[in-house]
Amino acid sequence: MPIKFGTSGWRGIVSDEVTFANVRRCADAIARYVTQSPIPPFPHSSAPPLLIIGHDARFLGREFAIACAKVVQQHGINVLLTDRDCPTPAIAWHIREKKARGGINITASHNPPEYNGVKFSGPDGAPAPPEVTKLIEQLISDSIPIQVSALSPQPSSKTFDPRPSYFRQVRRIVDFKLLRRGRQRVVVDTMHGAGRGYLDALLKEAGWQVESLHENPDPLFGGHPPEPAAEHLHELAARLRKVGQASSLSNSSKRKLEARATIGLALDGDADRYGVMDADGRIFTANQILALTLYHLAKNRGWKGSAVRTVVTSHMIDRVAEMFGVKIHETPVGFKYVGGIMQREPVIVGGEESNGLSVLGHVPEKDGVVACLLMAELVAAEKKSVGAVLKELEKKIGAFHTDRINARLDEAGKERFLRKIAEGFGEFAGKQVVNVILVDGHKFVLDDGSWVAFRASGTEPVIRCYIEAHSKSECAKLRRAIEALLKE
């Protein structure tokens, strides 16, 4: 079967697409790329070369990782294998810290439990760019199926604990003195994934009172995708709301109320994405968290540099950037594009609307652990809840409301819709189109600052439609206009 790498690696259903044979094909192609490809030049030399190999908590994750290790060793490549399931950002950090040629990560991130996949990161720790994954895809298509019996015996891969070095890196980025001064109570939901023992441990180190949910590894993730979205975080929300209103409470109940959690934090299956909740169970969008992160780092930490967002990420971060004289970059969808700019210049924060961000001095890869710690840091610095800080910020820059439609069309309908979009609009939903951005798909900026964007999925017959407006009613109006357009 053909193997195609998407925005963050190759993913498929276990035993249907993601089989040992196909995982070995990927590993063989990656090993040949690492040892044979003259481009791009690797900034570090190691003889023999080194690859970091890890996995998340999914079904057969470790077995697939060991299979990869055995294959790449056949190419004279040394391997360091994580001692257990491991967050994606920790693997990215160790690639850089150990000057490896790259890393293989067995993960399907936030996808449903039946999925797994293979992700390759380069020597910079960033997801491999399209020019590299295309070479790997070609090498896969040219490969001869590898059988276990054909492998000569190899010494066991060296295993290592990624936590100590990664924790030292996080301490360089996050202000633990500030966290200790403003320590509070927090509920952490690691969603049965690789982030357990990372986010909760770091918060405990900072003196926070941590209540953990779903800290046991479970390849079924409790029966739903390990995605930190509202529909999968009911238990976190319920735990945050468990104490009632302060009125008519006994003194003992009031003391319990004072000790209630002020923030809820969640990680996806491989801990590169985050979820943030207020004490009342309100979840914040990734767009809001990205803007709040820039606001906090510029205002409270005094960081200097630019900011990066993908083309379908909220312009809310642009308004925050204006407050502090920060330059904004707009990239195609995919963190590899965000990370590319983060390696070329100082970037305070780079992120995307799908719950991924990284910051200055860190890896050019999404890091949900750091994102969550920075929100805890924001609460400690401002001495207010995340919602209260957001409310104050919106008074300064205005409100931003976003929405998204994933429209499933047959291939003919998808092509017909794309032709219609390519023709463009003079106006949309009664508003004048003042700018058309073709960075990735088609984005139409309207005269009141609202916008709509359309992107075709590269792997399925889906059109992704994005909306931003400055009021709920205008956002709903734009949604209705898109829904009507899809029916034409």
Residue-wise pLDDT tens digits, 365-377? 999 999 999 999 9
Does residue 255 have a pLDDT over 70? no
Residue 342 has pLDDT above 70, yes or no: yes
H or E segment to which residue 310 belongs: strand 306-310
- pLDDT tens digits, 394-426: 999 999 999 999 999 888 888 889 999 999 999
Which domains occur in the chain, in start order? 10-161 (3.40.120.10), 165-397 (3.40.120.10), 401-487 (3.30.310.50)
pLDDT computed for residue 143 by the predictor: 66
What is the pLDDT confidence band of residue 176, given thresholds at 50, 70 and 90? very high
Question: What are the pLDDT digits (tens) for 432-472?
Answer: 999 999 999 999 999 999 999 999 876 567 899 999 999 99
Q: What's the half-sphere exposure (Cβ side, CA atoms, 13 Å) at 256? A: 12
Q: What's the rounded Cα separation, in Å, for the pair 131 and 114?
A: 29
What pLDDT digit, counting tens, does each position of 286-337 carry?
A: 999 999 999 999 999 999 999 999 999 999 999 999 999 999 999 999 898 9
- 11 has a pLDDT exceeding 80: yes
pLDDT surpasses 60 at 244: no
Q: What is the mean pLDDT of the chain?
A: 91
- Whether the predicted pLDDT of 239 surpasses 70: yes
- Binned at pLDDT 50, 70 and 90, residue 148 comes out as very low
Length, in residues, of the chain: 488
Q: Nearest 5 degrees, angle CA 65-CA 197-CA 117?
A: 25
Cα–Cα distance, 350 to 345 (Å, whole number):
11
Tokens 């004279």 — which residue?
76
Instruction: Answer whether 279's CB lies under 8 Å from 261's CB.
Output: yes
Q: What pLDDT was estimated at residue 252?
A: 52
CA dist., res. 351 & res. 91, Å (int): 19
Residue 451: DSSP 8-state: E
Contacts of 245 (CB under 8 A, 6+ apart): none
Q: Which residue has the higher pLDDT, 488 or 13?
A: 13
Over residues 95-130, the pLDDT tens digits come to: 999 999 999 999 999 999 999 999 999 999 999 988
Confidence of residue 153 (pLDDT cuts 50, 70, 90): very low
Residue type, 54: G
Residues 6+ apart with CB under 8 A from 246: 254, 257
3-state DSSP: the chain helix, strand, coil percent, rounded to 5? 40, 25, 40
pLDDT of residue 410: 86
Which residues have CB under 8 Å from 48's CB, separation 6+? 76, 77, 78
Q: How far apart are CA 227 and CA 206, in angstroms?
A: 26
Give ∠ CA 178-355-386 in degrees, rounded to 5: 40
